Amino acid sequence: MKLTDNVLRSFRVAKVFRENSDKINCFDFSSNGETVISSSDDDSIVLYDCQEGKPKRTLYSKKYGVDLIRYTHAANTVVYSSNKIDDTIRYLSLHDNKYIRYFPGHSKRVVALSMSPVDDTFISGSLDKTIRLWDLRSPNCQGLMHLQGKPVCSFDPEGLIFAAGVNSEMVKLYDLRSFDKGPFATFKLQYERTCEWTGLKFSNDGKLILVSTNGGTLRVLDAFKGAVLHSFGGYNNSKGVILEASFTPDSQFIMIGSEDGKIHVWNAESGMKVALLDGKHTGPVTCLQFNPKFMTFASACSNMWIHCSEWVPSE
């Protein structure tokens, strides 16, 4: 089934999971779309089966806390950042709940973590104003970039370049093979005093970059020229919450949750708002991602919600 405006408008809550006692700070779908894993401020890691629609396992990271959880390319391993004690990134085997490796280096909280879509490389950005490049096979940092401010960062869908958003006003593009030579492109955007950048994502077709903020605006950039194609607003975020925005897997639509539990959807090309879904969340929708393979998406506050399309094509 193809995603259209009508299909998106037909999405309804299919399942609610109340496994957590505090905010879900991050979740990530496996590349085959069969599982989703969440990290929470209650120090738990919950693995959900998307096909059976139920939680499979709960693990805990009580000592270090857990945030920014990401699947690696092996379905049973994850990396995540700490939100207690130290700023080391941890590489965990879900199979036996044992750490495979630690990645020390950052001296302040890690605020961005992006896994390469093609290999064992990943990047991290921290409040220490650095981006570090890592390889899962080695605890040693493979590359280090000093920046002028807080970074957000992400790989492109081919894993050849990565983008760094710096100081909430610049996007710098780096070639992974020669990042030490500096960025090959820099896009300067108009600085907004009222909010700071909290996330940066490429569309799956590699043509667009989505910049999310802790205010009430999102921006969509041309990934090649850096021009701002659209600015989206009209969703509630008065308290400066970090709200995750996402592309749909076909790169055609952009979604974000809001402070009041609603989910807003725009057409990425035209910039028109196509849907306003009642997520029925009790708090701000801090996390939101579309399943990469199936016609469902997940959103989270302190509970995890799975949404399915109820679209019945007319004969």
CATH code at 55? 2.130.10.10
Q: How confident is the model at residue 17 (pLDDT cuts 50, 70, 90)?
A: very high
Q: What is the pLDDT of residue 220?
A: 97
> Quick check: 125 pLDDT over 60?
yes
The DSSP call for residue 7 is H
**Is 177 inside a domain boundary?**
yes
Read off the pTM: 0.93
Reported as a single tens digit per residue, the pLDDT across 226-241 is 999 999 999 989 888 8
Kindly indicate the confidence band of residue 315, based on its pLDDT and cuts at 50, 70 and 90. very low
Q: Is residue 315 part of a domain?
A: no
Task: Give the per-residue pLDDT at 312.
Answer: 57
Q: What confidence tens digit (pLDDT) does each residue in 143-191 have?
A: 999 988 889 999 999 999 999 999 999 999 999 998 889 999 999 998 8
Instruction: Tell me the residue range of the domain where 150 lies.
Output: 5-308
pLDDT of 310 > 90? The answer is no
**What band does 313 get if pLDDT is binned at 50, 70 and 90?**
low
Q: Is the pLDDT of residue 314 over 50?
A: no
- Whether 197 is covered by a domain: the verdict is yes
The number of folded domains in the chain is: 1
For 193-218, letters b (16+ CB in 10 Å) and e give: eeebbbbbbbbbeebbbbbbbbbbbb
Residue 313: inside a domain, yes or no? Answer: no
194-204 average pLDDT score: 94
Residue whose tokens read 């020390």: 104
Mean pLDDT of 259-268: 94
Any domain includes 132: yes
Between 302 and 112, residue with greater pLDDT? 112
Rounding to the nearest 10 degrees, give the CA dihedral for residues 20, 244, 185, 207: 120
Rounded (5°) CA angle 23-25-30: 125
